[in-house]
Amino acid sequence: MNTNPSALAQLSASKSGAPSRPGTRDVPPRRPRGRWYSFAGAGALIAVGYMDPGNWATALSSGARYGYQLLFVVLLASLMGMLLQWVASRVGVVTGRDLAQLCRERYSRRTTIVLWLACEVAIIACDVAEVVGSAVALQMLLGVSLTVGVLMSAVGTFAMLALQSRGKRPLQRAVTALILFVSFCFVIQLALAHPAWHEALAGFAPPRALIRDAGMLWLAAGVLGATVMPHNLYLHSSLVRDHAADRDDEAIGDALKGVNIDTFASLAIAFIVNASLLIVAAAVFHAGGHAEVDDLADAHRLIAPLVGSHWAGITFAAALLACGLNATVTGTLAGQAVMEGFLNLKVARWARALLTRGLAIGPALAAVASFGQHGSNALLVATQVVLSVQLPLAVIPLVRFASDAGLMGRWRIARVPLLLSWGCASVIVALNAAMLWQAATGH
């Protein structure tokens, strides 16, 4: 068989990536499209922040005191969280920078410092809730004191973060496994609690007493702060900023598709867990005449005899511990992201974990020493209200960046998504203003 040498040379050049001869037309190789699951993982890390011990505290208090009425707030907060996390991930993928980096680039030095300090306060408040929640869970399961539980939770954080020395995937798999374990625990809880499902469905309608009842409004602000966490917005944009490294429209489109599926699926699971916790509290405590139960330790003590199964207490404590361990990891990752983004300061993960643990352990130890196990829930709810107050300082810059045509190009948010995003910001500001006004006037 006769072979054309020039044809063989051109074929060899095309396979090896060498330029073809002049006069021939180069055909660029077709870039393989990424599978959506190759972008999964960030959503799981974000979702654990939506079901941390702070969420447990607010959902437990809401269900025990008001029954199913505040399920509407859980649903609204979850939908707002999905929208804002979608916006945050979009900004990260399209710009290749996270929210903290954009704030440093586009705002003055003074404004940047204020935003950084506000975010650090939110992280510390959240970390206190996670440390106290984990300590309470360890006391339930092992019978240790709360002080020992606080110290053990710090060790657990370093153990979880050690998984990342093997790469991102091992930590993401461990977090995902714990989320699935928590979901399984709540399947058991719901089966044992026998909730009134018709009343639960009615609870997804807005309660008329929300604005008039100061206690309900306080818990609603806590639910909002526990669900939509400001540092989660910074973390999400940081985790996905390298997903479209080529920075062309096809790469960005592929990355956004995968990230969106990951985000909405993960946060849907978080919503189911939060709603399940409130439903269990309403079915067991409110319906059983224990509306005063607003403490994790009391809930653990009462839930087994009220539902008639010791498994209720065991799964309650085990799920709380899993949520606490997961949330401490994301808190550390968020702290590292905001410090690097706002200050352009590189910090080793173990050093950042040591810093956040040190700042949280002090207040946590002081709280458990002053109030004991029965004051933990009031502390947890208060930390979530702090998060709610800090939230506008993250949401407003995020929406401004996401709608900036010069920054986002064709991927900017506009029309309905933009209107809904500003609506979320307005609801957050209005709820905080009403809460602060009630606190100041005593009404």
DSSP letters, 47-108, are HGGGSSHHHHHHHHHHHHHHTTTTHHHHHHHHHHHHHHHHHHHHHHHHHSS-HHHHHHHHS-
Q: Would you state the pLDDT for residue 95? A: 95
Instruction: Identify the pLDDT of residue 19.
Output: 43
Least confident of 179-188, 219-228, 305-314, 431-440: 431-440
* Structure confidence at residue 235 (pLDDT): 92
pLDDT digits (tens, 9 = 90+) for 126-136: 777 777 788 88
Give the tens place of pLDDT for each residue, 127-170.
777 777 888 888 888 888 878 887 887 787 777 777 766 767 78
Residue with the larger pLDDT of the pair 296 and 235? 235
Q: Is the dihedral of CA 425, 237, 133, 169 positive or negative?
A: positive
Q: Greater confidence, 204 or 361?
A: 204
Q: In CATH terms, is domain 34-398+409-441 a member of 1.20.1740.10?
A: yes
Q: Is the pLDDT of residue 22 over 50?
A: no
**Residue 351 scores a pLDDT above 80:** no
Instruction: Flag whether pLDDT at 308 surpasses 90.
Output: no
Q: What is the mean pLDDT of the chain?
A: 81
Among 295-299, 407-411, 432-436, name the most confident range: 407-411
Residue with tokens 């974990």: 353
pLDDT, position 38: 66
Q: Give the pLDDT confidence score for residue 213 in this predicted structure.
A: 80
What DSSP element (H or E) covers 138?
A: helix 109-142
User: How far, in Å, CA of 137 to CA of 429, rounded?
Assistant: 33
DSSP tag of 24: S
Residue with more model confidence, 9 or 272:
272
The model's confidence at residue 115, banded by pLDDT at 50, 70 and 90, is very high
Length of the chain: 443
Rounded mean pLDDT of 346-362? 69
Q: What percentage of the chain exceeds 90 in pLDDT? A: 33
**Residue 74 region, left (φ>0) first, then alpha (ψ -120 to 50), else beta?**
alpha
**Beta carbons within 8 Å of 125's beta carbon, 6+ residues apart:** 383, 384, 386, 387, 390
Least confident of 3-17, 160-174, 282-296: 3-17
| pLDDT tens profile 190-235 | 999 999 999 999 999 988 777 778 788 878 877 776 677 788 899 9
pLDDT of 18 > 70? The answer is no
Ordered DSSP codes for 201-249: HHTTSPPTTTTT-HHHHHHHHHHHHHHS-HHHHHHHHHHTTTTTTT-SH
Q: Please tell me which of 2-11, 15-24, 147-156, 190-199 the model is most confident about, judged by mean pLDDT.
A: 190-199
pLDDT at 361: 66
Tell me the mean pLDDT in the region 52-75: 88
Contact 93, 241 (CB under 8 A): yes
- In this prediction, residue 172 has a pLDDT band, given cuts at 50, 70 and 90, of confident
Predicted local distance difference test score (pLDDT) of residue 429: 83
Give domain limits for the chain. 34-398+409-441
**pLDDT greater than 80 at residue 432:** no
